[in-house]
Structures are given as structure tokens and as C-alpha cells.
Chains A and B, each alone.
Chain A
Amino acid sequence: MDERYIEDSLEKLKSAIPVNEELKRSLRRSFLAPKARTRPQGGFAVAASLVAAAACLVLFMHLLSPGYWGEKVYAATLKIANQVSFLNIGQGSSLGVAEYQGTLYMPLAGQGLFAYDQRGFQRIYDQGVNFVRVSPDGKKLVFAENGSIKIYDLSTKKVQEILKGDGISLYYEEPSWSPDNKRIIYVKRVIEPGETHGFTVKESGIYEMEVDGNKTSRKLAEGSYPSYVRGRKAIIYEREQQIMLQDLAEATEKVIDAGRFPAVSPDGQYVAYVKVSQQARQLGENASVTESLENLWIADVGLETSRQVTTNYVHRFIDEQEWAKGLQPGSLPQVLGFTGAYSYYDPVWSSGGESIYVLKNNNVHGSMSLMRVDFSENSLSLQDTVRRFIQALVVRDDDYARSLLKEAPELLTISNPRQVGYRIVGHGKEGGQDYVEAEIYWAYTASPYYRIVKTRYYLSPGANGYLIDSSKEQGSIEVTSSDDGSVIITRNGEKEILFTAANIPAAYLPRGAYRISCLAYHETGGMLVFTIQAMEDQQARHPYLHLLTYDVHSKQFKLLDTLTAAAGKQGVGVTNLIIDNGGKYAALDLFTEEGKDYKSFTLVYDLSSGRKTDLRALLHNTAAGSLNTHYWDNEQLVFTVTSREQTVGFVYQPEQGTIASFSDK
């Protein structure tokens, strides 16, 4: 055993430490001279600059006020009941999603058209669709595919091409249905390729056409992203980054607002769109800064009022003062361009009109997700304000979390340890100010670590509901395991050994090497749930797991299960163990082989009966992928399915034994 061998072996170990190549590319791009970000257009898109994301971020809630609103409510007075990202698209783009009564239709670049609902995430059409709309009666889809427009009959699954482009210079795109299901409105683009590179748009005309019958068409306007407006003889569309309203009877045009991607609500009352606000500042003689911030807005179609929906913020990727100092005196004037932490694309209303789905790109991490925004006439209660705030932190919707804070700090969310659950425990008044008290549960991936932090959030009324002024930690409990196998609980800094390895009944301990790999603690129930990982030993026995509970009061251990194999493969490891608020259920993320056969799956245990449920078996229409727990939302488990490049969120309700989707109403 010489030094040379050790050095060679260290070299081998070095190669085993993976380098995140995606990060390497995306971070590098951020150091190139900032340019205005442009978004690729549908049919003749260049590769979208979207980078795969780390993890999908999801949460679930019930609507406060579903359905149509009876009386006319101005856009400016609509309240936001929730904003939640639940589907991470990864690399590649998704454009123009649509929803009908709980089923979301989602085109994914290069992969086809998918349907997402409580049955799973299923491919329903395998060609390169890039924009889809559901007919108001829910019977048909219209979509654009490589410059042609096609209609998909949802009952017969038959596809009919109604407009044929050539995919080179003629494109039919962005189709949308008339309220009576009889016509579509769409964009005809004529592109002229340049001599050497690039292209010129010769025409971007808005046309309408009858779907059945003689299929005659007529031109209505110049622009893009057209929609009909229910209850009026009018259309709304985008032209030169403005949202236009055209009265078809009088052929008059009005500007609603500056913006892109207009989407008209099913009742014809509101239009949602993405608007950019810009600011410029001079830093010195030869240095200036511009800030462009996108946000989702809604306005009344009748032009009375509008309101900003999202709370985007500037992503300052470098210190502007340091940057300015680094410039040579007397050099050419330079501009440092900051954009928002998020960009928004293609909003669309739910069929019931109470929510908007919008694509949101996280410009910091380079990942695209789909977010649902719910509206209500009522403001959130004190408790719901705190609940939404914590949910937004868990799923990392910083743009929503910030809207609930009076003053937002620079950094809101962190990666590990991560929040795996929360509970509102009380509320009251302190010194005349309202507060809500909540516990947040934290865990480390694949480590025996669990932390409960109790925090008091102080709130005061703002223009659109309560705002969180400040928060104060009230105490914490931390449970960890040390190398010798004992489990230690630390309450507000005071350590106590719950048990040592010697206390665990010998029958529950593996013969060879082992360690406590994951644990979770339920304070009110006085119960610890943990896993003992038996290591692979020299006789090449496969690693396996014991799942146990420990009653802190009676000091009794109980073996719930021993897992030696999964999905037909010997050898099991665990990466996460999280429990619900009531201490009734535990969810485990398990994995089998590393490498190309790597597969993870999720089991939920009823802790009193020991009954277990494999969540994979409950998803009927979903291609096999990796399952992972995300967090417990009270008694419901939010988990994700990673299939191809997407990470899709679902909700498991253990009491009912059913799965729900984020598009269920």
C-alpha cells in the first residue's frame, strides 16, 4: 500500500464528484454582457434559453371563492387568494397551455401534448404542438403544430388539419376559439428568411375562420395573440407591445395598456397580460443602470381599472457600485442591465374564470414553471396570510411571498435544510398588534435531522389585505442522531439524549454496520419515526432498511416495516422521511440502484396500522419516473413525479386514499 496508490485512488474519487454542467452554462451566460432578453417565437423558434431546474415546487390549497362572480367586480378590487407553482418544465419550452374543468392541456417542446389532472400526467398527442386552446364547450382542442393549425376531438381522439403552413415561410399560429365554439381566430405569419441568417416578418395578420362548413376566413387586424371577447363584438390582441381592443362593428381600435400576451377571461370581463416597467439611473460619467421588471397584470376589458398581480423584484446579480468602479475612467459609456428575478409568459384563464395559469421563468436558477393565480372578492384572513406566506417559501414562489411582506429582505428562500411542513398553532394580539403563530418543520435530505421552529408573525392591514410586518422566533426543537447511534433532542438549546443504540431492541438492529439515516419527530404525540439503514457489507449483502417508531413517554420501540427490495430490485436506501401534522402518517422516499437504473419511489405509512401505500400505483396515466415527497400540507402530502424533463406536483390525501391535482377545483 504505497503513496502512489493513494494518490491514484484520490484521483478516481475526484472524478466521482459530479459537476453541475447546467449551472456551469447558465451562470457563465450571466457574466456575458447583458443584452435585452428576447423570447423565441412559436413556430420558428430558436432554442429557448431555459435551463433544467433542480426541483419542482408545489403546494395545494382550496379556493376561497370559486366560480363566476355574480356582480361586476373591477379588476383593481379583485383580491389574490393564492399563487402557486406546481409544475416545473425543465429544459425546453412550453407555450400556450390551456385548462378545462380541472384538466390542464400542456404542449411541451419536442415531446407532444400532455394532459394533467388527478389521474396523472399523460401524453395525449405525440407531435410538436406549441400552443393549445380548449373550446368553451370542452369538446375540442385547437392547436398549432409546426406552422399548421389542427383540431383534436377529445372524444374520438381524431386530429383534423384545418390550416396548413409550410413550416418555412408560412405559419398559422396562436389559435383561439369563439365563445360559440364555431370559429377560431388565429395569426398568419409570413416570414422571409435573410440572405445569410435571421428572418423578417413580412406579415403578422389576425384572421378568423369558421371551423365547420365552408371554412371561409377574413382578416381582422395586424398583430398577435388574438382572443374573442364574450358578450361583445370585439377582439383583443397584441401589437407592438401594446394590448389592443378592437370593436368589430365600428372597426375602431383602442389601447388597453402596454403589454404582451393578452388573455381574455371566459366571461369577457377581464384581460390578463404581461407588462414591463423600466427605470434607468446614471451611476457616474460613463456608467448607467437600467432595470426592466415584468409583472402579470389584469385590466377590465371596459378600460375602467387595472391591477398588478405578481410582485417581481430586480435580480442584482452583481454589485453595481463595484461594477462602476471597475470601469476605466474616460472609457465609452456602458450600461448595466438588470432584469427581474422572474419573467412571465402566456397567461391563460381557467375555464371557470377564477384562476389564471401563467408560465414563469426563474431567471436566477434558469427554470420554467407553471403557476396558478387564484382570485377572490375577499381579502385573506390573518391566518391564511401567514399560511400562504409559508407555502410560498416552501415552493419558492418568492414573487408571491414578497407581496405578503411589508418590507422584503434580499434573500427569502434557501435550499437545505428544506421546509417539509408547517402548522398554524394560534393567533392573538400583542401590544395591540395582531399576530399568528406557526410551526415550520425542517429536514435535511438523507440525514437524521429534524427541526421544529415556532415563529410569531406580526401583521397589519394593507391595501389588499394583511401584510406581515415582522416575525420573531419563539423557540425550536431539533432532533439529530450522533455517530454512535444515539438520538438527541435539543429544546431551546438544552440537549437531552432520547435513547442510545443500546436501548434499541437487538432484534431491530441489523447484524453488520448500520446508521440511523432519517428521522422525524411529532412533539405533541411524543413520537419519533426513524429509519435504520443497514449498509452493504463485505459479504456483499444488499443494503436494507428498518422503519421504527419510538414513544418518548413509554420508551417503547415498535418495528413498522423492514424493506429489503423494491421494484423487483434488492437493496433499498432512503432519502426523506416526513410526517403529517397529526403524526398519523409518514412518507418515505426510497431508492434502489444508483446510476442509470436509479429510481426513486414514495411510500406512505399509516403509523398506527402499519398499512403502506405505494403512490406510484395510484397514478394511472403517468409514464414511470421518479417520485419524491415535497412536504405535508396539514393532512395532505404534496409529492412530485419527475418524468422526462418535467417535475409535476400532485397531492395525496391519505384519509381518502386518493390523488388530487393542482388543477382540480
Chain B
Amino acid sequence: MAKDFLSLYDQYFDHVYRYTYFKTGNKWDTDDLVSDTFRKAFEKYATLQAHPKAWLMAIARNTVIDFYRKKKEVVTDREELEKQVYDYSLEEVLGRHDELRCLKKALQSLPKEELEIINLKYFSELTHQEMGRILGKTVDAVKRKSLRIVRKLAESVHRCLEGK
């Protein structure tokens, strides 16, 4: 078991890390949360049937939400908690790629559920099928949604570069 788990770990650590980092915006929380994610995965590994990456990313996603839940003194629903993720200046995490300044600005203005899709698809490198499993959507719905967001980003970047 341990050997298989380690190959899962080696294969997906970077994806889990970037996913969590992009969601929380700081290294300290990310370190703690990524450790938690893999510990939970290690404990539950025997229950894994198929789609290991989707399974692992779902654990990561829930771990981040649980973290914000624990910080709350009163019980809050998931929707309310989702508002707390991506709540930081992207500049700090994504660094100063000047040529990408407009893209960062465009990302910053996206609603959080759309950022989540960008994070899962581009930063965590999930397939549409894996994303569908995590988000509870059909593959087609995920594809359509991703394309819409990318087009929206393209428009914003275009406007930004023209200085509008």
C-alpha cells in the first residue's frame, strides 16, 4: 500500500500544492493544509477505488474549506465559506510577470467559482472528466464553462492592453 501511495504522492504533490497555494494565497497556510491533505489521503487510501487524482483533489478542496470553517466561530454554510478563498492580492502569489499583468488583473476580477475552474484546470492540471467529478457537473458542462471563462479572460486582457 505504502508504495502505491507514494507514487500518488510523487505524481500529484505539485498539483495539490499549487492548487492550495492559489486558493489561500499564503505559504504558511498552504504548508499546513497540504500536509493535512496528504495525511488524510494516507489514512483513507484503502478506500480509494478509481480516479485517484480527482479523489485526492477533492480531499484538498475539502481541507481548505474545513480550514476556513474552523476559523469561523459560528457555523456557516459552504457557500459562505467559499467567499473566503482567493481572497488576497494575486500579485503576491503570481509574482511580477509584467507581460502578464493584464491577465492577473483579469483573473482578479473573476468570480470565485470561475477562479476555481481556472485553478483546477490550469494550475492543478485536471482533466474535464476529473473536474466534473469534483464539481458534480457533466463533462460537457465543464468544457463549456471553461471555454466561456477563457474567452472572458481574453476579452479583459484585450481591453487592458489597449489601456481601456
Contact = CB atoms under 8 A, between A and B. Distances in A.
B13 A19 contact: yes
A322 B44 CA distance: 7
Nearest to B108: A483
A416 B35 contact: no
B150 A6 contact: yes
A415 B29 contact: yes
Interface stretch (B58-66, B77-85, B92-100, B129-137): B92-100
Contacts of A2: 154
Interface string A12-32: 111011111001100110011
Nearest to A326: B46
A560 B96 CA distance: 28
B5 A11 contact: no
B47 to A, nearest CB: 9
Contacts of B139: none
A175 B27 CA distance: 42
B123 interface: yes
Interface string A310-340: 0000000111001101100000000000000
A557 to B, nearest CB: 24
Contacts of B34: 20, 23, 27
Contact of B21 (A18, A317, A594): A18
A164 B122 CA distance: 60
Interface in A476-497: none
A10 interface: yes
A44 B31 CA distance: 33
A13 B97 contact: yes
A54 B30 CA distance: 12
Nearest to A593: B96
B147 A17 contact: no
Interface in B41-60: 42-46
A219 B151 CA distance: 82
Nearest to B22: A17
Contact of A5 (B2, B44, B95, B154): B154
Interface string A509-523: 000000100000000
A358 B60 CA distance: 37
Contacts of B32: 414-415
Interface string B148-163: 0011011101100101
B104 interface: yes
B68 interface: no
Size band of the B side of the interface? 35 or more
Interface residues of A, number: 42
B154 A19 contact: no
Contacts of A538: 163
A16 B43 contact: no
B150 A415 contact: no
A269 to B, nearest CB: 43
Given A19-B14, A32-B2, A318-B39, A326 B45 contact: yes
Contacts of B157: 1, 5-6, 9
B18 A17 contact: yes
A33 interface: yes
Contacts of A27: 34-35, 38
Contacts of B89: 446, 515
Interface centre among A11, A14, A446, A536 (most CB of B within 10 A): A14
B18 A12 contact: no
A416 B31 CA distance: 11
Contacts of A445: 26
B96 A17 contact: no
A10 B43 contact: no
Nearest to B159: A1
Given A6-B157, A14-B122, A318-B42, 7 more contacts: A7-B150, A13-B94, A16-B95, A17-B18, A20-B30, A323-B43, A445-B26
5 contacts: A10-B103, A19-B17, A19-B18, A20-B34, A318-B42
**10 tightest A-B contacts by CB?**
A415-B28, A326-B46, A1-B158, A10-B122, A322-B43, A17-B18, A16-B95, A19-B17, A416-B28, A14-B123
